[in-house]
Amino acid sequence: MAEQYKVDLSELDGTITKLNRVIGELGRTTSTAKHSTHLPAGALGTGFHEAAELEQAHIEMKAHLEEIVDHLHEVMDRFGTKTKKVHDNYQESDYEAQSSMSGTA
């Protein structure tokens, strides 16, 4: 006899809800990284060689942080999409099993 298993769809629902919250927060983080971290020329000082190096380092780090946040957003979005698909597949499978047992399929 095959082993029986049951998937708790409410847990998958909870996971999807939490992932959507994370994705929402990442959206705000993306916006902050892109729009709230700009330093105008000369903000780190002028008239010394290191000022230009600091400005360039800031530009590079800002771009790197934007890439990281974008990547995290993509990963979380893919994970959320796959989790939703798994949920829907299990839900459909449960529905089909219940329908076949009650003879309405």
Q: Model confidence over 21-46: pLDDT tens digits? A: 998 888 888 888 888 888 888 888 88
Q: Which of 14, 17, 23 is nearest to 72 (CA)?
A: 23
What's the confidence (pLDDT) of residue 105?
A: 53
Q: Which of 45, 29, 49 is nearest to 37 (CA)?
A: 29
pTM: 0.71
Q: Please list the pLDDT of the chain residue by residue as tens digits (105 residues).
A: 456 777 888 998 999 999 999 988 888 888 888 888 888 888 888 888 898 898 899 999 999 999 999 999 899 999 999 999 999 998 998 888 888 888 765
Rounded to whole angstroms, the maximal C-alpha distance in the chain is: 84
CB 51 within 8 A of CB 44: yes
CA 95, distance to chain mean position in Å, is 30
